[in-house]
Amino acid sequence: MMTTEQETFDALIAAEQRIEPRDWMPDAYRRTLIRQISQHAHSEIIGMQPEGNWITRAPSLKRKAILMAKVQDEAGHGLYLYSAAQTLGITRDEMTAQLIEGRAKYSSIFNYPTPTWADMGAIGWLVDGAAICNQVPLCRASYGPYGRAMVRICKEESFHQRQGFEILLALMQGTDAQRQMAQDAVDRWYWPSLMMFGPPDDQSPNSAQSMAWKIKRFSNDELRQRFIGMLVPQAEVLGVTLPDPELRWDEEAGRWHTSEIDWTEFHEVLAGRGPMNAERIRARRDAHEDGAWVREAAAAYAARTASHAAAAAGAAEVA
């Protein structure tokens, strides 16, 4: 009996094996991955902006070096992920065009402003913290290049989370004004970080298919619960208050009880009406345009090197 391509694919997924670029895969699986991985790559690259904003104003040389390393890591994450998406048959140019023409999505969290130094702490602690909860299970994603990229990314994300925590800890041990600044940043980033896990499970239409394909391993709500469980003891160590008066462990239900999340805000920001959407895309487009000469020079150099190599090969043949 002949095995169909679909059956081979299904068997690989069922056996927890990886799908590799040259394997047959259903079109919908390929499209889902291109969308998810490219959005993820865009998020890493756009995510450099809110923090890049503070590199020149970091309060000490040490803080500047740490922040610069962190922002560079995010650029690297973007590059691994663009490369992973390219193995599925989309070009880097197409993905860049989708982003700078405003046709691609990226994580809404990066459409919030970063007015104070404490935002660097809150972003590392909360945003990178949420990213870790989301991304650790993606290390086992069924698509090989994506899963492997996530392994390295997750190692770097743990450093990001720690550096954010440490910024907040230093502020919380400082003056009243510094403590106030830290608390204010936590107040602004807490809810948006919870929204990073996406809509509640009963309103998340694509989740079931992604789980069946073993791209996604846990539901949005499960991951959100896990994240809250991680934050609560850390908030205690920091001495910050998580801005949800209803937050408590519900013994009977075995889960964290929280206030309602304001999803109207989430949808507004997602629809491009967040405080910083236009600015983020403009900055990315300007950077792309300003870098045109670098790409042209690199292409000219590559062409010249190739023609020299060809000429040398020709000369060798004659000799």
Contacting positions for Fe ion (CB under 5 A)? 44, 74, 77, 128, 157, 160
Closest to Fe ion by CB, 48 vs 186, is 48
* Least distance in angstroms from the C-beta of 127 to Fe ion: 8
CA dihedral 134, 136, 137, 142 (to 10 degrees): 110
E strand or H helix at 249: strand 248-250
* Least distance in angstroms from the C-beta of 85 to Fe ion: 15
* Least distance in angstroms from the C-beta of 155 to Fe ion: 11
Distance CA 126, CA 280 (A): 20
Closest to Fe ion by CB, 193 vs 213, is 193
Closest to Fe ion by CB, 44 vs 119, is 44
Distance CA 217, CA 296 (A): 42
Closest to Fe ion by CB, 88 vs 109, is 109
* Residue 4 CB-density burial (10 A; 0-12 exposed, 13-18 middle, 19+ buried): exposed
Closest to Fe ion by CB, 129 vs 274, is 129
- Quick check: helix, strand or coil at residue 248? strand
Of 82, 75, 93, 72, give the one whose Cα is nearest residue 40. Answer: 82
* Least distance in angstroms from the C-beta of 146 to Fe ion: 14
- 255 phi and psi angles, rounded to 5 deg: -150, 170
Closest to Fe ion by CB, 83 vs 241, is 83
* Least distance in angstroms from the C-beta of 117 to Fe ion: 18
* Least distance in angstroms from the C-beta of 153 to Fe ion: 6
